[in-house]
Homo-oligomer: A and B are copies of this chain.
């Protein structure tokens, strides 16, 4: 018995989903013959496992959840699309004439976004990209990517990197999900065990799997708005607006607190 290889799971998923959507290239087949849908596997550290249909990563805006479309309407100026994925948001912004840079740590995602027409891409973490000296007016975290804040350990460094790339008046547009509206004992028990370990209830410990590949385990944050506010305290960012029309999904708009804007002003 062996195990999966550590690799670029998300990149492989969107590469195959793109091949299926185009009908070109190597595509997953059942029994070497019947087309097979591309399904990303998300495994949680308590053994919970979920299959996610990958076609959503390539969807046109008319197929998005309404809150994703509204999030896109909140951007202004130069946009950094953090976790560009297969480029669905970056392509929609480009079509509107909005200047957008797609950022991703997945080489496969960068390759698919480029093949689909995203013009400005960077394969880097937020810290690495901040070193490039580029400034942005909007940091866009679509598709639950508020989760990239991970938790109390990671969030300050992540938000500080955004602050280093922030033009005056910059905002973060981040989509999240409140995980606490459930009575499912599997979820309620997980949240409880997380809190007992000093983590946020919805601080998920996950790895992604696809075919023979797996990622390392990583944290991904699903949090309430109150928890988000707690996480922002002292980071130089604060909650300026909230769209919770489609609760439990929400779109948070963060702006820099005055002190940080001032401090950043000195650096520029």
Main secondary structure of the interface of A (DSSP, over half): loop
Are the CB atoms of B212 and A47 closer together than 8 Å?
A: yes
Given contacts A33-B249, A34-B65, contact A51 B51 (CB under 8 A): yes
Per assembly, the copies of the chain total: 2
Give every chain B residue within 8 A of A45 (Cβ-Cβ): 1-2
| Interface hub of A32, A33, A46, A205 (most chain B Cβ within 10 A) | A32
Are the CB atoms of A47 and B181 closer together than 8 Å?
A: no
Are the CB atoms of B41 and A51 closer together than 8 Å?
A: yes
Are the CB atoms of B2 and A47 closer together than 8 Å?
A: yes
Which one of B3, B53, B179, B186 contacts A211 once the chains associate, using CB atoms below 8 Å? B186
Are the CB atoms of A212 and B48 closer together than 8 Å?
A: yes
Which one of B4, B37, B46 contacts A47 once the chains associate, using CB atoms below 8 Å? B4
* A49 is an interface residue with CB less than 8 A from chain B: yes
Complex: chain B residue closest to A36, CB-CB: B50
Give every chain B residue within 8 A of A249 (Cβ-Cβ): 31, 33
